[in-house]
Amino acid sequence: MKICIRCGIEQSIDEFRKQKETKDGYANQCRLCLNEIQRIKRKENKNETTHKYEKTPTGFLMREYRNMESRVTGVQKEKAHLYLGLPLLDRFEFYDWAKSQQSFFVLFKIWENKGYDRKLTPTVDRIDSSKGYEFGNMEWVTHSENSRRGSVSTKRVKITPMN
Q: In tens digits, what is the pLDDT along the chain, a chain of 163 residues?
A: 999 999 999 999 999 999 999 999 999 999 999 999 989 988 888 888 888 889 999 999 999 999 999 999 999 888 888 899 999 999 999 999 999 999 999 999 999 999 999 999 999 999 999 999 999 999 999 999 999 998 876 544 444 555 4
Residues 65 and 145 in one domain: yes
Domain around 134: 60-154
In a domain, 112, yes or no: yes
3-state helix, strand, coil in the chain (%, to 5): 50, 15, 35
Classified as helix, coil or strand, 121 is coil
Residues 84 and 34 in one domain: no
Paired strand residues for 125: 139
Claim: this prediction has a pTM higher than 0.75: no
Residues 117 and 43 in one domain: no
In a domain, 66, yes or no: yes
Residues 32 and 78 in one domain: no
- In angstroms, the Cα distances linking 127 to 10, 71, 113, 131, 141 are 50, 16, 27, 8, 11
Residues 65 and 79 in one domain: yes
Residues 70 and 93 in one domain: yes
